[in-house]
């Protein structure tokens, strides 16, 4: 993605994941993790309208195949080609063509059923890129417009990818938030909380039916959840134990009751020493949600490997795979042991750092214990 400073953020390259994918997937294999999220970088692939160069992703594809890892590929994780006018009339068509080309390329490379995340976190991208101008497309006060465009693009991509391979599965990740009023009777908090469902409602046709949303698009509901996903209307962060804080299991139950679709905890994690306590909390909440009848098909530790901060390039120690200054990989054994312990029956999906329908009873991928 390109920030409002003009800086192009490419954390795959910053972590050398593109060059060292064999090592990265080998580390995951050693941890008995066989399903991941990884990403295509649209800005490197479509070098000009309709011209596709797949060299930037081939090392990741080959490494995943050699390691026997099932990948859910992000097509757009906040990144856009520099030549593209995101506000232009052909944005949706350009993304649909790119998605179809990606689907055909994957079909040539593998006989396995493909897993796709068309667009990561439509709601957050609409806020940060459409309302606040923090990163591309640098919109200010145009969040609703950008969200509609992203939903239309995702819908078009799903249709094209299903035409290429009817077995294709789709993950639609959104951040789940909970906002508490500072004073009784405030509507702002309720509105902010309900906004967490807006993109999903648009994708499945409950809202803005003119976009063409349909139930088949909401295949696997991706829930992204971190320690800062709950706050008061005035912006004060809520932590566990604060009045108004809702356990993750309750938020997952809300999503399940609304859509009745398989749910993946598609992003969660914590930095440094906070990771272990957070993993224990997440494992307990997932177990509570499942006990309440919620169908959870996977948990994705995001990211599984250290990465450089978007704005300041600081070293963020976030996963079970550490990075030395020279990009040498090493496994944090204590964290790996805890990962196996708390997810003994549901080893998580994981994701390297990125620039982020079948039958309802069918799991998203085979993830061995």
- Tell me the two tokens of residue 205: 């046709």
Which pLDDT tens digits describe the chain residue by residue (369 residues)? 899 999 888 889 888 898 999 999 998 888 888 889 999 999 999 999 999 999 999 999 999 999 998 999 999 999 999 999 999 999 999 999 999 999 999 999 988 899 999 999 999 999 999 999 999 999 999 999 999 999 999 999 999 999 999 999 999 999 999 999 887 666 666 777 788 899 999 999 999 999 999 999 999 999 999 999 999 988 899 999 899 999 999 999 999 999 999 999 999 999 888 998 999 999 999 999 999 999 999 999 888 999 888 888 888 888 889 999 888 999 998 888 888 888 765 545 555 554 433 322 333 332 222
Cβ neighbourhood burial of 253 (10 Å; 0-12, 13-18, 19+): middle
CATH code that applies to domain 11-350: 3.20.20.80
Between the alpha carbon of residue 262 and those of residues 106, 245, 252, 294, the distances in Å are 24, 25, 11, 8
pLDDT digits (tens, 9 = 90+) for 44-85: 999 999 999 999 999 999 999 999 989 999 999 999 999 999
Distance CA 253, CA 235 (A): 25
CB-based contact 302:293 (threshold 8 Å): no
Coil vs helix vs strand at 322: strand
**pLDDT one-digit tens code per residue, 99-115:** 999 999 999 998 889 99
């Amino acid at each position: 993605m390109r920030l409002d400073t003009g800086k192009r953020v490419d954390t795959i390259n910053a972590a050398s994941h593109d060059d060292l994918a064999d090592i990265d997937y080998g580390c995951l294999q050693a941890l008995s993790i066989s399903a991941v999220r990884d990403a295509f970088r649209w800005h490197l692939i479509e070098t000009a309208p309709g011209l596709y160069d797949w060299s930037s992703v081939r090392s990741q594809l080959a490494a995943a195949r050699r390691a026997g890892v099932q990948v859910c590929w992000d097509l757009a994780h906040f990144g856009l080609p520099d030549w593209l006018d995101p506000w232009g009339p052909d944005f949706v068509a350009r993304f649909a063509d790119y998605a179809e080309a990606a689907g055909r390329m994957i079909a040539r490379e593998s006989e396995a059923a493909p897993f796709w995340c068309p667009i990561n976190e439509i709601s957050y991208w609409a806020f940060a890129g459409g309302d606040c101008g923090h990163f591309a497309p640098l919109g200010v006060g145009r969040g609703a417009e950008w969200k509609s465009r992203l939903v239309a693009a995702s819908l078009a991509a799903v249709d094209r990818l299903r035409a290429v391979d009817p077995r294709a599965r789709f993950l639609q990740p959104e951040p789940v938030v909970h906002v508490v009023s500072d004073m009784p009777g405030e509507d702002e908090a309720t509105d902010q909380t309900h906004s967490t469902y807006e993109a999903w409602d648009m994708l499945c046709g409950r809202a803005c039916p003119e976009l063409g949303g349909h139930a088949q698009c909401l295949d696997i509901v991706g829930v992204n959840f971190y320690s800062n996903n709950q706050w008061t209307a005035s912006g004060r962060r809520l932590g566990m134990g604060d009045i108004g804080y809702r356990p993750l299991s309750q938020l997952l139950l809300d999503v399940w009751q609304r859509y009745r679709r398989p749910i993946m905890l598609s992003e969660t994690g914590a930095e440094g020493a906070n990771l272990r306590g957070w993993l224990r909390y997440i494992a307990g909440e997932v177990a509570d949600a499942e006990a309440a009848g919620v169908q959870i098909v996977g948990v994705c530790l995001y990211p599984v490997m250290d990465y450089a901060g978007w704005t300041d390039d600081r070293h963020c120690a976030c996963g079970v795979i550490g990075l030395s200054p020279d990009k040498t990989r090493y496994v944090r054994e204590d964290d790996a042991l805890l990962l196996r312990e708390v997810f003994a029956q549901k080893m998580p999906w994981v994701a390297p750092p990125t620039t982020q329908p079948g039958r309802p009873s069918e799991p998203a991928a085979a993830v061995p214990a």
